[in-house]
Amino acid sequence: MNMDHLVSTAQITKEDFAELYRIAAYLEEELKRPGHQLSQLLADKIMATLFYEPSTRTRLSFESAMHRLGGRVISTENALSSSSAFKGETLEDTIRIISGYADVIVLRHPTVGSAEAAAKYSAVPTINAGDGAGEHPTQALLDLYTIQKVKGTLDGLRIAMAGDLMFSRTIHSLVKLLANYDVQFYFVAPESIRAPRDLLDLIEKKGKSFEEHDDLQNLVDKGIDILYQTRIQKERFVSEDAFQSVFGKQIVDKALMDKLPSECYILHPLPRYGDIDPAVDEDRRALYFQQAQNGVYVRMALLLKMFGISV
Ligand code: NCD
């Protein structure tokens, strides 16, 4: 993997992912071993987490990953109100300054393309932790890790994605990554938030196929291996009415689970918001909490790769 910055999953090859998978799986095991030496690996490094949008998992799992590798963290969790952005400082200037304080920057920002722009002004590696409705590459990496772990492969799978296909950056990044493999896609969304055309074009360009549906029930006889549910993202809608017209329509519940194949696993980037019934949590096919945990191993692996440290 030769990357200064991680902006999009389009940068990640199958070989890159195979390597990240190996390292993350190693770290997951190694962390359980008393006396491991992982906290020596990044002892001289500082990570800055610069978040202009809310986050629980992404920021804290990055920080946890850095701490577990012995690195240190400086952080702005509400950068819109608590950093100099509030005084009108541009992202460019902020990034220039922070890249003098840290060895890697993890950035979440509401504007599509902000991570790419930031990368141009940063003297240190910059990682896109979500740029508006654009991309969220590290989420896609941990999603792929979770799928490969449970299925043992990424080829020959039927993968359904449901919810906010238009605005979900986790979907955008995951589709780009999965399109490198032999995958059949199924998209389930109301008409107004269907997957963007350029994403569908990319799937076709890579010689893969997809079906589009507007009802989760249509999936039950498709032999689906993975159902990736997403939140309808209220904050990205232009009006309350537009949001209400699609909210709460397609829910993963026990009745649906009963009809899905016994080896069809449920993933979700979280937070869920009325899209998975908590009664599903006890089903062994509900993987979303494990998926969130995997974020620590995958982000540890990514940090090591970006710093050129091999294990
Ligand atoms: C997602 C995000 O921020 O894009 N959450 C996450 O990072 N795990 C999904 C969402 O907010 O719905």
- pLDDT at residue 311 in the model: 95
Nearest CA to 231 among 167, 147, 296? Answer: 167
Q: Which atom of ligand 1 is nearest to the CA of 292?
A: 8
Q: Report the mean per-residue pLDDT for the chain.
A: 96
Residue nearest to atom 6 of ligand 1 (CA): 269
Could you report the per-residue pLDDT of 43-98, keeping only the tens digit for each? 999 999 999 999 999 999 999 999 999 999 999 988 888 788 888 889 999 999 99
- pLDDT at residue 84 in the model: 84
Instruction: Indicate whether 102 pLDDT > 90.
Output: yes
Cβ of 170 below 6 Å from ligand 1: yes
* Annotation says 87 is catalytic: yes
Could you report the per-residue pLDDT of 123-160, keeping only the tens digit for each? 999 999 999 999 999 999 999 999 999 999 999 999 99
Cβ of 58 below 6 Å from ligand 1: yes
Cβ of 61 below 6 Å from ligand 1: no
The span from the first CA to the last CA of the chain, in angstroms, equals 14
- State how far the Cα of 17 lies from the Cα of 262, in Å rounded to an integer: 28
DSSP 214-280: S-GGGGTTS--SEEEE----GGG-S-HHHHHTTTTSS-B-HHHHHHS-TT-EEE--S--SSSB-GGG
Contacts of 162 (CB under 8 A, 6+ apart): 187, 188, 189, 216, 227, 228, 229, 230, 250, 252
Structure tokens that stand for 109 in this block: 């920002």
Instruction: Indicate whether 3 pLDDT > 90.
Output: no
What is the value of pTM for the model shown? Answer: 0.97
Point out the catalytic residue in the list 57, 109, 272, 299.
57
* Annotation says 108 is catalytic: yes
Cβ of 59 below 6 Å from ligand 1: no
Instruction: Indicate whether 168 pLDDT > 80.
Output: yes
When pLDDT is cut at 50, 70 and 90, the band that residue 1 belongs to is low
Range 53-59 contact pairs with CB under 8 angstroms and sequence separation of 24 or more: 53/108, 53/109, 53/110, 53/130, 55/108, 55/129, 55/130, 56/271, 57/269, 57/270, 57/292, 57/295, 58/108, 58/129, 58/130, 58/136, 58/138, 58/139, 58/295, 59/106, 59/108, 59/129
